[in-house]
Amino acid sequence: MSPEQRDYYEVLGVPHDADAKTIKDTFRKLALKYHPDRNKAPDAEARFKEIAEAYAILSDPKKRADYDARGFAGVAGFSAEDLFSGIDFGDIFGDTGFGFDFGGGGLFGDLFRRHRRPAGPARGGDLEVRLVIPLEKVNSGGDETVRFNRPVTCTSCHGSGAKQGTEPRKCSACNGTGQQVTTRKETKEKGTISFQQITTCPVCNGRGTFIDNPCETCNGRGEINKEDELKVTIPAGVEEGTALRIPGHGLPSHDPSGQPGDLYVIVRSKPDSRFERHGADLWRLETIEIPDAVLGTKLDIPILDGRVEVKVPPGSQPDEVLRLKGKGLPVFGAPMHGDINIRLQVHIPEKLTSEEKELYKQLREMGANAKKHWWQ
């Protein structure tokens, strides 16, 4: 998924809580509007394909859940078969009179060919690891070391899974492709629609081969586990849950000559006893005594790079917020900082000495007299 892609909900113009029917109806309306056979605008085909991809993700409950949780990182690496093969386009467009051909020519066929896995070796899957960093690192940015375990191609069999001197046997059911293709045609009043469904071969489970003599090093898996270490650059102000993509450091391909997938480093902030993070803003709770709330006081407050003295004005109220402007975290991608917000909590004593109790009684009487004089 390219970083220039728009949010899928934005592409279709539906809210994030839209139900399946709303998504389907909206897709049908937009797809017919931007189909190049109807719309001759220069960007119609690109818009049509953008709409189709958004629908492919949001119409599938699992893909939609992954996208909602992790954004584009959650749905990275899908081929056209993964995206579109489970969608019944005949149900959506069967009464339109358009000759949508999903296996041969036509716009959808072109869309499949553009997104389809190349005829060469299949790419490996993506890998996800979590990196927890302190707020100081969020503030400054910089390099961090990520340690993780990942499978790598076995050096003895070079990923084939077969013992040295032997080769895997090609699956006869799929002729070594790992896929089975089913084509059906439906004749409608206004034309014939061809549908092509591509599924994983059930005989070899998508591998395309069988191993009669497994490699002794990896037991036929074609890969071994390796502890890896990698330096990643954390941008200042990195947002909670950001996925940093590291190309080529994911899972190895099951094809000996295939390229590995990508590594996604999910960045989280380490819990901090001083602050609670809300975006670029930091929040802190400070408890003061009643006299300090009434008369005012000064507080020694921690900030990310030291401490500062903060003045509490006289007459401060419970839950009042004092703001240290620009003392929070950097705003990701912008030349500005968030704030440190200090929420005041006034401590009400539960137990009083006899002397303290007498003083509070005097204060109460003084307050009552002041009100009485005010009304007179």
Of the spans 71-85, 174-188, 242-256, 298-312, which averages the highest pLDDT? 298-312
Average pLDDT over residues 34-47: 80
Alpha helices in 118-268 (DSSP H): 135-140
Query: Binning pLDDT at 50, 70 and 90, where does residue 327 land?
Result: very high
pLDDT of 212 above 60: yes
Q: Which residues contact 322 (CB under 8 A, 6 or more apart)?
A: 310, 312, 341, 342, 344
Position 106 scores a pLDDT of 45
What are the residue boundaries of the structural domains of the chain, listed by start?
121-163+218-270, 276-375
Owner of token pair 């954390």: 234
Position 325 scores a pLDDT of 96
Position 79 scores a pLDDT of 62
Task: Name the burial class of residue 250, with classes exposed (0-12), middle (13-18) and buried (19+) by CB atoms within 10 angstroms of its CB.
Answer: buried
Average pLDDT over residues 343-350: 95
The CATH T-level fold of domain 121-163+218-270 is: HSP40/DNAj peptide-binding domain (2.60.260)
Q: CA-CA distance, 156 to 145, in Å (whole number)?
A: 29
Average pLDDT over residues 338-360: 94
CATH numeric code, 276-375: 2.60.260.20
Per the prediction, the chain carries an average pLDDT of 82
* Fold agreement between 121-163+218-270 and 276-375: yes
